[in-house]
Amino acid sequence: MTALLRMPNDFAPAVPSGLEAVVDPLRGLALAARDGESLAFTQLYERTRDQAWRVLFRVVGPSPDLEDLLQESYLQLMRALKSYRGESRVSTFLHRVCVNVGLMHLRSRRRRPEDPTDELPEHAGPETADPERAAQVQQAAQLVQRALSTMSSEKAEVFVYHDLLGLKPEEISVAVDCPVNTVRSRLNRARLDFTQAVTRLKLAGSAP
């Protein structure tokens, strides 16, 4: 379980090279994209799409909607860039957009019935040798996603950052722009809500 608190390599910041250590390497591209340079936005997408994909996958799992969510995240980024002043890190902001887009998707999926005609995603992940284990993993992922969809957006956001993406409270504090102590107290309440939601869902699932 301690592995959950470790920052996965997937979400570690890019290793800074000599040039990139000084400033946000994406700042210039974001400013150019804000000013209407379409090529700059394309380059911004190409340099950040893998990170955005990992964040979205962790939040919503292997869903056929991942492609739409990736596009929606960047469209929201495009709109948000209008007010970008070059003061915050673009990758941090993009992660927050992806987390919120993913959580919104989980909530909307909870409100609408499951569509049995959903196509299998082309990115379902590697096949496991143990089908029983694979079924348990899928069941657990669905349980986590349903529990997240019942939580408030503030708590769910902090919980995802800490327990799914492995960020430390200090990093979350920068990402969500609030004090570290607020992040800690919000995280405690989020864990309580998550536990209660999982318990409730398990009881509902085991009921005849």
Partner 1 sequence: MSHLSHDQLWIHAGSEDNELERAHARGHLAGCEACQSTLEEIRVARGALALALEPPVPELPRAVALRVGDALAERADARSVRSVRSWFAALFTPRLAFALATMLAVLLGAAWWLRTPAPEHAQPDQVAVRPDAPPAPVLPPPSALPAPPLPPPRHLTASITSASKARAQNGPAAKAQVLEQGASVVTERGGSAWLKLPDGSRAGLTSASSLTLATLEQAKLTLELQKGSVAMEVPHRADRLLTVQAGEVLITDLGTRFVVSRNESRVLVAVQEGAVDVATPGGKQTVKAGHAVAWHDGTLDALAWEPGPVASAPAATAGTSPSKLREEDEPEATPPLEAEPEPEEEPVRVAPPPSAAPEEWALPRGLTARDTSRDPNRVLLPPVNVPRPKRRLSLLELETKLDQLSRVFAGATMREGRVRSIAHAADVGDCAHAIPMADAWLHEPPTGFAEETRWRRVVLSQKLRCFERQGRAAEAMEIKRLLSQP
Q: Residue numbers of the site for partner 1 (CB under 8 A)?
A: 1-5, 10, 17, 19, 33, 36-39, 41-43, 45-46, 49-50, 53-54, 57-58, 61-62, 66-67, 70-71, 74-75, 78, 122-126, 128, 136-137, 140-141, 143-145, 147, 163-164, 188, 191-192, 194-196, 198-199, 202
Task: Report whether 161 contacts 99 (CB < 8 A).
Answer: yes
Q: Which is nearer to partner 1, 66 or 175 (CB)?
A: 66
The three state secondary structure string of 89-107 is CHHHHHHHHHHHHHHHHHH
Q: Compute the least distance from the CB of residue 156 to partner 1, in Å.
A: 13
Q: Which is nearer to partner 1, 33 or 177 (CB)?
A: 33
Q: Is 183 exposed, middle or buried (0-12, 13-18, 19+ CB in 10 A)?
A: buried
Q: Which is nearer to partner 1, 89 or 191 (CB)?
A: 191
Q: Compute the least distance from the CB of residue 103 to partner 1, in Å.
A: 15
Helices 131-150/180-206 angle, 10° precision: 120
How far is residue 159 from each of residues 9, 44, 57, 178, measured CA to CA in Å? 18, 27, 15, 15
Structure tokens at 91: 């990758």
Residue 32 to residue 47: CA distance in whole angstroms: 15
Q: Compute the least distance from the CB of residue 176 to partner 1, in Å.
A: 19
The CB density around residue 4, as the number of other CB atoms within 10 Å, is: 10
Residues in CB range of 77: below 8 A, 6 or more apart: 93, 94, 97
Q: Which is nearer to partner 1, 18 or 177 (CB)?
A: 18
Q: Which is nearer to partner 1, 66 or 158 (CB)?
A: 66
Q: Compute the least distance from the CB of residue 117 to partner 1, in Å.
A: 20
Q: Which is nearer to partner 1, 104 or 201 (CB)?
A: 201
Q: Compute the least distance from the CB of residue 17 to partner 1, in Å.
A: 8
Q: Compute the least distance from the CB of residue 137 to partner 1, in Å.
A: 6
